C-alpha cells in the first residue's frame, strides 16, 4: 500500500527497511521493549511492512552475538504489531575480530538469500585498505555480498573510492534517509546526493535509533524531486530482501 503524509508528499514504495536498532537494551538504539514497539509503530505508520533490524557488533562496546540478539528479539516478539515482520541480522564494525572470523570461515550473521552482510567503517580515520580489500575478497569467496552502511557519513568518502569498491568487490551501498534530510550536516547531505546521482544506492535504511530518524523519512518524502531520485531512479533492492505479501 502506498502511503502519503501530506498532499504533495511522494509515495513511499519501499516495504522493507534495512538497518535499524530496534531491539531493546543491546546497543545505542531502543532502550526498552516499549521503546522498541513505539519505533516499530512509527515505521508502520510510514507504510513499512517489515524491517531487518541490525544491532551493533563491536567488541568492547557492543559485545553482541547471535544469542544476545536472539534473546533481545524474543523479548519483543509477542509484542510486535500484527501485519509487521521483524527480522534481525547485525551491523558489524570492521576490526580485527571480524576480519579473523571471515578469514577463518567462522559463522557470520547475514540476512536474506543470497546472503548479505552489513558492515560499517570508522567515521573519521580511513580503514586499513589492505585489510578492507582482503575482507571484501574473503566475503565474496564465501558467497556473501558485502553491504557498506552509510558510506556518505565517512569523512574520507569520495566517488573514486566508492566506484572501486562497487566495481572491484561488488560492494552494495546502504544510505541513510537521515543523510538526505541533512541530519548529519551539509557535507554528508551533499555526498549522499552525489552518490544517488550516480545511481549507486542499493538500499535505503532508516538507521532508526530514535523517532527523529523516522521523522527524517517524512522530510525526504516531502521533497518530491529528491524522493523520486531515490525511489525511482536508483536500483533499490529493499523489497527483494523479504516476501511481505
Residue-wise pLDDT tens digits, 192-231: 999 999 999 999 999 999 999 999 999 999 999 999 999 9
Rounded mean pLDDT, 71-98: 98
Closest CA to 231 of 32, 10, 41: 10
- Phi/psi for 208 (5° steps) reads -65, 120
pLDDT attached to residue 6? 56
DSSP string, 100-115: HHHHTT-----BTTTT
Closest CA to 154 of 132, 193, 184, 116: 184
> Is residue 90 scored above 70 in pLDDT?
yes
pLDDT attached to residue 239? 98
Give the cell for residue 129.
585498505
| pTM recorded for the entire structure | 0.96
Give the cell for residue 103.
578469514
State the DSSP code for 234. Answer: S
pLDDT attached to residue 3? 45
State pLDDT tens for residues 105-122.
Answer: 999 999 999 999 999 999
Query: pLDDT > 90: what percent of the chain?
Result: 96
Mean residue pLDDT across the chain: 96
Confidence of residue 245 (pLDDT cuts 50, 70, 90): confident
Write down the CATH superfamily of domain 16-240. Metal-dependent hydrolases (3.20.20.140)
> Is residue 2 scored above 90 in pLDDT?
no
State pLDDT tens for residues 148-200.
Answer: 999 999 999 999 999 999 999 999 999 999 999 999 999 999 999 999 999 99
Q: What is the maximum alpha-carbon separation in the chain?
A: 54
> Is residue 25 scored above 90 in pLDDT?
yes
Closest CA to 94 of 130, 117, 121, 72: 121
Give the strand pairing for 116-120 and 145-149.
parallel
pLDDT attached to residue 7? 61
Query: pLDDT > 70: what percent of the chain?
Result: 97
> Is residue 97 scored above 60 in pLDDT?
yes
d(CA 14, CA 143): 26
Query: 99: exposed, middle or buried (C-beta count within 10 Å: 0-12, 13-18, 19+)?
Result: middle
Q: If DSSP codes are grouped into helix, strand and coil, which group holds residue 134?
A: helix
Domain ranges for the chain, please list them.
16-240
Amino acid at each position: 500500500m502506498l502511503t502519503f503524509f501530506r498532499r504533495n508528499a511522494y509515495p513511499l514504495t519501499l516495504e522493507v527497511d534495512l538497518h535499524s536498532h530496534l531491539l531493546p537494551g543491546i546497543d545505542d538504539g531502543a532502550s526498552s521493549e516499549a521503546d522498541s514497539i513505539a519505533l516499530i509503530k512509527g515505521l508502520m505508520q510510514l507504510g513499512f511492512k517489515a524491517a531487518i533490524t541490525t544491532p551493533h557488533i563491536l567488541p568492547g562496546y557492543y559485545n553482541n552475538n547471535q544469542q544476545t540478539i536472539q534473546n533481545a528479539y524474543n523479548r519483543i516478539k509477542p509484542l510486535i504489531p500484527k501485519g509487521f515482520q521483524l527480522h534481525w541480522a547485525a551491523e558489524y564494525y570492521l576490526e580485527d575480530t571480524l576480519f579473523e572470523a571471515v578469514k577463518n570461515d567462522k559463522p557470520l550473521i547475514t540476512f536474506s538469500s543470497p546472503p548479505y552482510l552489513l558492515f560499517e567503517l570508522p567515521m573519521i580515520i580511513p580503514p586499513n585498505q589492505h585489510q578492507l580489500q582482503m575482507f571484501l575478497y574473503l566475503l565474496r569467496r564465501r558467497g556473501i555480498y558485502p553491504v557498506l552502511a552509510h558510506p556518505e557519513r565517512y569523512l574520507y568518502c569520495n566517488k573514486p573510492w566508492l566506484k572501486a569498491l562497487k566495481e572491484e568487490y561488488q560492494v552494495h551501498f546502504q544510505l541513510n534517509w537521515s543523510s538526505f534530510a541533512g541530519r548529519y550536516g551539509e557535507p554528508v547531505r551533499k555526498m549522499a546526493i552525489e552518490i544517488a546521482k550516480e545511481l549507486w544506492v542499493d538500499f535505503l535504511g532508516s538507521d532508526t535509533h530514535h523517532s527523529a530518524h523516522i521523522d527524517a523519512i517524512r522530510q525526504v518524502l516531502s521533497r518530491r524531486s529528491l524522493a523520486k531520485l531515490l525511489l525511482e531512479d536508483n536500483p533499490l533492492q529493499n523489497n527483494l530482501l523479504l516476501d511481505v505479501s
